[in-house]
Amino acid sequence: MRSLLPQDAPYLVDLFENMGSESRYNRFLQPLDQVDMDYVWTEAEQIAEKVATVSYGLVAFVDMPERDDVPVGAARYVELTTSRAEIAVSVRDDMQRKGIGTEMMRLLILHAKIRGIEQLVGTVQNSNAPMWAMLHKLNYRVEHQSEGSYSEIIIHLHESAHRREDYLDAAADYSPEPQLSW
């Protein structure tokens, strides 16, 4: 695993090509089975180029029988403000449920905390059980607001254990929204 670089667009395209329909839908919140590859390349180049300015990303590789250094995952955050950033994680289908996404998220969180980011935000399909399981493993308070088939999430990075206990007490009052999870 290493930092995403501006010249890494080909790795992002390779990763996209090895994500199935459900993985693409979960990651991009829209069906992308019949997408024009020129569009994919343009998006990959823009994502990779942003790491030089307002974002930070990681790309994970493994050696496969068919070739070495195969890109299997990517994760990044884009700074929205000095204290808030949007996150995204992608892992190719044949490498999911191996801890790659979780480890990338842990490293992104460490980097974000060093940069002074207090909250990571994102959108997660409610049916995306692997992503919810990964968020649970992170051991940070995750606030989520359901919006139909997806939820807007906030991962709180700089809360003390005492502050988290206060939120658990509030959650015990059966307040309907927002929901909290660990």
Q: Read off the pTM.
A: 0.75
173 DSSP 8-state letter: T
Q: Round to whole Å and give the CA distance between 80 and 156.
A: 15
Q: What's the chain's Rg over C-alpha atoms?
A: 17
Sign of CA dihedral 27, 29, 31, 36: negative
Condensed to tens digits (0 to 9), the pLDDT of residues 78-94 reads 899 889 999 988 888 88
Q: pLDDT 10s digit of each residue in the chain, 182 long?
A: 999 888 899 988 887 777 766 665 556 555 566 767 777 778 778 878 877 777 899 999 998 888 888 899 988 898 998 899 999 888 888 887 888 989 999 999 999 999 999 999 998 888 888 888 888 888 889 998 988 888 899 999 987 444 545 555 555 544 555 554 44
What Cα–Cα distance (Å) separates residue 86 from each residue in 9, 19, 61, 80, 165? 20, 21, 23, 7, 25
